[in-house]
Every structure is written in structure tokens, then in C-alpha cells.
Chains A and B, each alone.
Chain A
Amino acid sequence: KAGVTQTPRYLIKTRGQQVTLSCSPISGHRSVSWYQQTPGQGLQFLFEYFSETQRNKGNFPGRFSGRQFSNSRSEMNVSTLELGDSALYLCASSPGAGGHSTDTQYFGPGTRLTVL
């Protein structure tokens, strides 16, 4: 089974621009979660999607948004980029049985975003 894939792997943007990152989960997985990793703040939960619905959200400003498609692929978008958005963005997928699921999450390699 192929693992979680994320595209692109590296991205350079300038302040004020917007960016879209893509995540393809493991086949059959319906839950996709996104995390931001920075040296200062560590790993922080952004949001989680299951069956095209956002079920959970972390403490990030509205500039961070996401969506999930019917094939479970997910995208996250960051608008009006700031220098502090430079980070490794990780996507994770799990079977996601629904409700208070505690399935194991499997992570992709991440997208390294640099904002200049």
C-alpha cells in the first residue's frame, strides 16, 4: 500500500501571497489531519477532515483553511502569507471510523514552506 503523499515537497513564497498544499491519504483512509511544525512552537494541530467535513480545528487564524474531496484527498490553504508561516506542514491519515476515533495516524513526508 502506498503511504501518505504530499505535494509539493518544497515551496518558496513571498509575504502576502497565498499557497495551497495537497495531501493524498493511504488508500481506504477517510480521515486526514494537518499539522504545522516549527522550531519554536513544535508540532501543532491545524484541523482534521472526515468524509469532506471538518470535525476538529486547532488554534490557528482564519487564514488557514482546508477542505477534503470525495476521494479523501485534502488540501490546505494559507492566505496572506506571513514570515511566521514558514514551517514544515505535515499531513496524516487514518481509517477514521468516525466519532471519537483514536486510530493510529500515518504521516506523510511534509511540505517545507518558506516565506520570504
Chain B
Amino acid sequence: AQSVTQLGSHVSVSEGALVLLRCNYSSSVPPYLFWYVQYPNQGLQLLLKYTSAATLVKGINGFEAEFKKSETSFHLTKPSAHMSDAAEYFCAVIGGYQKVTFGTGTKLQVIP
């Protein structure tokens, strides 16, 4: 079975500081990994996805993630946090027939 683990349910950063949200995966086959963002009272918006084409994946809003097989990680980063980045972020892995397994989420707080 495939799964993802997000370390840290809450992360606080200062505006302009580096954002690092951690995700580790478990999969017996090459995984398809995603990062989604959810703003309050809204659905999920796709930030980026990894489908084995490139290990460094660039997404929207300046976010990127690097797939590291040796560490079974897919951490999300952004060089400089903006107030509008405050939201909850979900790492996810997709299995057969569109079944997506989500991590428990990380709430990002950006301090002015």
C-alpha cells in the first residue's frame, strides 16, 4: 500500500523566509506524488506533481519540490514566504483507479 507522511502539523515562518514543508512517502512502485494547497473554506488546488519526468518539480506561486528516492522524500520549498502563502498544504500519492492517499496536512503560518 502507498502512503505519505507529513512531518509537522504546524509550521511558522517569517515573511520573506524559506518555506520547507516535509513529506516522506512509502511505495513499492515508483510513486506519483502531488502537493495540494487548501485555503480556508475552499477546495484543494494543485501546486505541483511528480511523475518521474524530472526530480525537481516546479509548481505555481513559486513553490517547488524535489523527489529524492534515496530518502523517500518529496519536500516542498519556497525561497521567500509571502503572507498569501498562509494555508494548509497536503502531500499526496495516487494509486490505481485515481485513489489518492493524502497526508495529514501542514498548516503554514506566515508571520509579518
Contacts and interface: CB of A to CB of B under 8 A. Distances in A.
B98 to A, nearest CB: 5
B97 A55 contact: yes
Nearest to B6: A42
B42 interface: yes
Nearest to A43: B102
Contacts of B90: 43
A33 B98 contact: yes
A102 B45 CA distance: 17
A104 interface: yes
A110 interface: yes
A89 to B, nearest CB: 10
A105 to B, nearest CB: 6
Interface residues of A, number: 29
A55 B51 CA distance: 22
Interface string A53-97: 001101000000000000000000000000000000010101010
Interface of B: 32, 34, 36, 41-46, 49, 51, 90, 94, 96-105
Interface of A: 4, 31, 33, 35, 42-43, 45, 48, 50, 55-56, 58, 90, 92, 94, 96, 99-110, 112
17 contacts: A4-B43, A33-B100, A42-B104, A42-B105, A48-B99, A50-B97, A56-B99, A99-B97, A102-B51, A104-B34, A104-B49, A105-B46, A106-B46, A107-B36, A107-B43, A110-B42, A110-B43
